Structure 1
Amino acid sequence: MKALTATADDRVITFAEVAEPAPAAGQAVIAVDAFSVNRGDFFALTGVYGTDPEPGHIPGQDVTGRILQAAADGSGPAAGTRVIAHAAGGGWAERVAVTTDAIAELPEGLPATAAATLPLAGLTALRLIRRAGDLNGKRLLITGATGGVGHLVVELALATGATVTAVTATRERGQRLADFGARIITEIDETAGQFDLIMESVGGDTFTAALARLVPGGTVIWFGQAGREPIRLDFFALFGVTPFTLHHFPHWVSDRTDAEDLAELVRLAATGVIHPELGRTADWAETATVLTDLVGRRIRGNAALTIA
């Protein structure tokens, strides 16, 4: 079958003929209709996380398609079922084997391309909101708000009764979130207010500026470092917000399976609570270009690639 694989040169990925997936007993084989790409995929492919990918490795986490071969142990959806899945790699291919605890049924009413943007970004957003606890009446500041995770967090937080201030690169990029009810700022210094909760995903000076807006006793959930600059904390400068709680948030730590949370995301999308933002749709032959544009912030929200 055909797949996109990691290379050892500056092409990052290339098409290759690879072996068909060999599923374990608890895995189903999915015929992929569409997949989504994330900034983290690019970082992994370019060694940002500290290790280079093995040449021939097939990336890809976020997929939609149909079950081609049901799991041998009887778990998960039956053959022919339309599904959404969070794969542990291998998703940028015509077919992929995925454990059934990371697969959920996808209703016909949700387009494959929009749904494909939900797994990684949606699981992260849903678990961030769950980690934050009761947000009703709380004042939330979120940075990187127009990214794949950020815009879903904004919608979910608004739906739970929070007052949301979203930091975006431009007001134009933030207009969609403003339409949902968020206050849009382009610099944290634009607000003199204080916040009960900060969700920070940029790092560097942005983290420092956001922390200065926290109420004493407030909470910071740190869920990314998109600016690739480490944070800097000054013990003495923090007396104004002390005591405060800082959570380092990994999206994969959860007491619910991916399948359970994917089913919840599908329900939220189907009922209009969240609206996946599909900034670009393209054929999977354009994956390298789409990745570059996503990292360069030339795509708002998420991008999806289709396999004919």
Structure 2
Amino acid sequence: MRALEPTGLDEAMVAFAEVPEPEPQADEVVVEVDAFSVNRGETFLLAGPRPGWRPGKDVAGRVVRAAADGSGPAEGSRVVAHPPAAGWAERVAVAARSTAVLPESVDAATAAVLPLAGITAVRLLRQSGAAAGDRVLITGASGGVGHYVTELAAAAGIEITAVTATPERGERLAALGAAQVVQSVAEAKGPFRVVLESVGHEVLPATLPLLTSGGRLIWFGQASRQPSALNFFHFFRKPDQDPFAVTLEHFDYTRGERSYGEELAELVDLVATGRLHPEIGLRGDWTGAAEAIAALRARTVRGNVVLTTGEGA
């Protein structure tokens, strides 16, 4: 079957290759892929790929082989799924517990952008403990996670301030319910009970003075690809003020009380009932994968990137 494999080249990071058909475990289904999402984090892995690794964590399509142990969706079911890798292919094996059945009202291309970004957003908000009336700041908000966090939080009565690189990239966030959209942390009007930080470098320490005492800074990404340095005096709002206590937490989306499939079923229901609107900034055929990856790495795409493999999307 055909699949996209890493080339190790900067100018065209993936290319088509013939690979073996997936060999599922007893608790895995085989999905014929109609569409898949390209996540920015995966594009960094393409720069120095591990031997034998193939990208692809977000897919939607149809089950062509049910799990041998009887778990999960039946053969013929339309599903969205979150495999650990290898989803940029005609077919992929996925744990049955990492799939959710799609209603006819949700197309494959829309569903394919739900897994990584959507699960991250749901679990991030859950870890934050933010509730109605709380003020939350999110940096790097114009990517897929930021759009989901903004809409889900606003629907829950949380006041979201979103930081984006340009006003144009923030327009959709305002439409999804962001109370304020700014182009830098310096423009944000604190204080905030929670900061959701995904840029790193100088941005992370700049958010600390904006927290309330007892607030939480949750670090869920480092889009800048540059490390952050914290200074002892970052924990003083001004030189003449008392220090304030905050919690700095790392976020790992793979840790959750529920399975990926349960999270996906919730996200699919939100989309089907019009309560969640995935932002697809680039949609194309998988023959244009190399160009789509370049656009995502250059941060010229607002929201998610989805590529289709055939007519099923």
TM bin, normalised by shorter chain, reads over 0.9
Q: Partner of 2:27 in structure 1? A: 26
- C-alpha separation between the residues in 2 aligned to 1:289 and 1:92? 15
Q: Distance in 1 between matches of 2:257 and 2:299?
A: 33
CA distance in 2, matches of 1:112, 1:76: 18
1:13 Cα deviation after fit: 1.4
Tell me the equivalent position of 2:36: 35
Report the equivalent of 2:279. Answer: 277
Q: CA deviation at 1:237?
A: 2.6
The one-letter code sitting in structure 1 at the alignment partner of 2:305 is A
- CA offsets per residue over residues 212-249 of structure 1, 9 Å max, x none? 21111111111000011111111123133621111100
Out of 181-190 and 8-17, give the one that drifted further.
8-17
| Residue in 2 that maps onto 1:64 | 60
Q: What is the CA–CA distance in structure 2 between the aligned matches of 1:181 and 1:269, rounded to whole Å?
A: 16
CA contact (8 A) 1:3 1:16 kept: yes
Q: Does 1:53 align with 2:50?
A: yes
Deviation of 1:98 after TM superposition, in Å, equals 0.4
For 1:26 and 1:158, the matched residues in 2 are separated by 37
Q: Which residue of 1 aligns with 2:226?
A: 229
Specify the alignment match of 2:258 in structure 1: 256
Which residue pairs with 2:236 in the alignment? Answer: 239
Q: CA deviation at 1:8?
A: 3.7
What amino acid does structure 2 have at the position aligned with 1:165?
T
**Residue-by-residue CA offset, 1:81-110 (whole Å, 9 max, x unaligned):** 000000111100000000111011011101
Give 3-state SS (helix, strand or coil) of 2:236's partner.
helix
- The aligned length equals 303
Paired with 1:179 and 1:29, the residues of 2 have a C-alpha distance of 38
Deviations 1:38-96 (A, max 9, x none): 0111111113xxxx321x53210000000000000000000000000001111000000
1:58/1:93 contact within 8 Å kept: no
Q: 1:215 to 1:12 in 2, by over 3 A?
A: same
Residue 203 of structure 2 is matched in structure 1 by: 206
| Gap regions ≥5 residues in structure 1 | none
Amino acid at match of 1:191: A
1:3 alignment counterpart: 3
Tell whether the 8 Å contact from 1:167 to 1:184 is kept in structure 2 after alignment: yes
Structure 1's 232 and 32: CA in aligned 2 closer, same or farther, altered over 3 A?
A: same
SS at the partner of 1:202?
A: coil
Two-structure CA RMSD over aligned residues (Å): 1.2
Could you tell me how far apart the structure 1 residues matched to 2:163 and 2:144 are? 14
Contact residue 284 and residue 307 of structure 1 kept, 8 A: yes
Equivalent-residue separation in structure 2 for 1:66 and 1:275 (angstroms): 22
**Which amino acid is the alignment partner of residue 92 of structure 2?**
V
Q: Secondary structure at the match of 1:4?
A: strand
Query: For 1:1-308, what aligned pairs fall within 5 Å after superposition?
Result: 1-10=1-10, 11-47=12-48, 52-54=49-51, 57-182=53-178, 183-240=180-237, 242-308=244-310
The residue matched to 2:292 in structure 1 has which SS? helix
Structure 1 position 4, deviation (Å): 0.5
CA drift of 1:155 comes to: 0.8
Q: TM-score, normalised by structure 1?
A: 0.96
CA–CA distance in 2 between the matches of 1:205 and 1:214? 16
Contact 2:161 2:188 in 1 (8 A): no
Contact 1:6/1:53 (8 A) holds in 2: no
Q: SS state of the match for residue 23, structure 1? A: coil
For 2:33, give the aligned amino acid.
V
Contact 1:3 1:93 (C-alpha < 8 Å) held by counterparts? yes
The superposition leaves residues 102-135 of structure 1 with CA deviations (integer Å, 9 ceiling, x where unpaired) of: 0110111012111100000000000001111242
